Amino acid sequence: QKEVEQNSGPLSVPEGAIASLNCTYSDRGSQSFFWYRQYSGKSPELIMSIYSNGDKEDGRFTAQLNKASQYVSLLIRDSQPSDSATYLCAVTGTASKLTFGTGTRLQVTL
Amino acid sequence: EAQVTQNPRYLITVTGKKLTVTCSQNMNHEYMSWYRQDPGLGLRQIYYSMNVEVTDKGDVPEGYKVSRKEKRNFPLILESPSPNQTSLYFCASQGAGGFPDTQYFGPGTRLTVL
């Protein structure tokens, strides 16, 4: 089992819709959870971090964490073509090591 | 401007020819790390450094060396590159405590080993 799992996609959503990206992790002791956005050929950029169960909102982005289910998600409201990118889930495990998922490619269509 | 720089950005080399990829940050960060990114495998950590003269292996350290003689610099050394080290490499840094709250990534180095 991979430590951090994501569906590779592509996830295709129409402009203006809500994009829902999901991530599961295997280490029950994980403490910190992150979402990075990566445009093709560019470096990852941190867009959300979440540390406790529940929702965290920042503009059009909402991160959701459920530690009991070992599940973290990212919702993007009012999706724009500029949101088309690969979204990387990253988790800090018990050894304080940051582990990345392989990413979900999001395509926002006009 | 806070940034992580890497050089070179692109490199094509041949098997066995030693190379160094430099990484420098201007944020006075203690923690620095190197990742490689390959299709279908995501970002994998090669080495990391908690501070000057303190380095440790990540998930895929074989074939790589690092050094941390100064806080701002963390070069990645390939003593004898092989084709399976063809990849996109990222250097990253973050603040005190190694807590990956905001990890800043460099622009990446695309390495091809023939």
Q: Work out the number of other CB atoms within 10 angstroms of the CB of residue B52.
A: 15
| Amino acid at site B65 | K
**Interface contacts (A, B; CB < 8 Å):** 44
Per-residue burial over B19-45, b = 16 or more CB atoms within 10 Å of its CB, e = otherwise: bebebbbeeebbbbbbbbbeeeebbbb
Average pLDDT value over all residues in chain A: 92
Which tokens hold the place of A78? 């009012």
User: What end-to-end distance do the CA atoms of chain A give, in Å?
Assistant: 36
pLDDT reported for residue B98: 45
Among B100, B106, B108, whose Cβ lies nearest the Cβ of A98? B100
CA B34 to chain centre: 3
Q: Work out the number of other CB atoms within 10 angstroms of the CB of residue B12.
A: 11
B105, B109, B110, B111: best mutation site toward chain A, by most A Cβ within 10 Å? B105
Could you report the per-residue pLDDT of B75-93, keeping only the tens digit for each? Answer: 999 999 999 999 999 999 9
Q: What is the mean pLDDT of residues A49-74?
A: 95
Closest Cα partner for B27 from B101, B95, B92? B95
Q: What is the mean pLDDT of residues B44-66?
A: 93
Among B40, B58, B107, whose Cβ lies nearest the Cβ of A43? B107
